[in-house]
Structure 1
């Protein structure tokens, strides 16, 4: 009985693992928020619609603060639609950043926003600019949107 329970659990875990990977992408980005930042992390598409997407993500930011290398966690949420509009917000230990921009079938994002400092050390503040690439780890991923030609 233990063997059957273990096999059933492995089968369910494999199916769930495949479905999660199908809607997940790795991201790499460059951002400017008062300083240069390199970002890397994971993005997950929460819905299956191709016309609009709700994407949540977690990433790590790399920057230099006072001549010391810093790695900072960040969480974000984006809404994109088939027309290429992007709206979202990200939160890190130093700021909250609402963003607007353009998305090309969830492959890359170009966005701008404003960093609102929430830490007494205002390292991230002011107008922001970002360019992000999303790379799906599986073939025929559901993370990307279809490109509509007319």
Structure 2
């Protein structure tokens, strides 16, 4: 019984120390994260919502994200997970992957606030829900007031 309690206490200490050391890191993660809302046409109308994260410092032109796609398939609501990766400056070049397709994309980013993109959905599943030329418009909303998600450009006064 005593040995079991020591194992539990050690686990609690490890979890607590991990939590306390990650508080600063979590604050940095929130500064580089945004919530997104998008409309996409990928052979069908799709509404998308999720999170985008701008990588730190030397990789700051790269954005990774996870989202959920909502569409109607055979008159039934379908929620589909998706992962995306972008190289972003003023232009976008990236790829998104979901259980039904892989979609290479390119487009434009306006200070990472509005992203307009097009691409081609390549089906990877027997049910070809997503296929052909795609188009999307995405809005990004920061999680913090002093967000580092957006591009920082200096304005000449």
Q: TM-score, normalised by structure 2?
A: 0.84
Tell me, yes or no, if structure 1 residue 60 matches structure 2 residue 80.
no
Is the 1:100–1:113 contact (alpha carbons within 8 Å) kept by the matching residues of 2? yes
Identify the match of residue 78 of structure 2 among 70, 85, 104: 70
Identify the match of residue 35 of structure 1 among 5, 21, 44: 44
Deviation digits for residues 57-94 of structure 1 (CA, Å, limit 9, x no counterpart): 0000000011110000000000011xx11100000011
Q: Which residue of 1 aligns with 2:112?
A: 106
Q: Distance in 2 between matches of 1:25 and 1:12?
A: 23
Structure 1: tracts of 5 or more residues without a match: none
Larger radius of gyration: 2
Q: 5 Å matches for 1:134-149? A: 134-147=140-153
SS at match of 1:18: helix
Q: Distance in 1 between matches of 2:155 and 2:21?
A: 38
Deviation digits for residues 28-51 of structure 1 (CA, Å, limit 9, x no counterpart): 10000010000000111112369x
Q: Distance in 1 between matches of 2:34 and 2:130?
A: 26
Q: Distance in 2 between matches of 1:29 and 1:109?
A: 9
Is the 1:48–1:142 contact (alpha carbons within 8 Å) kept by the matching residues of 2? no
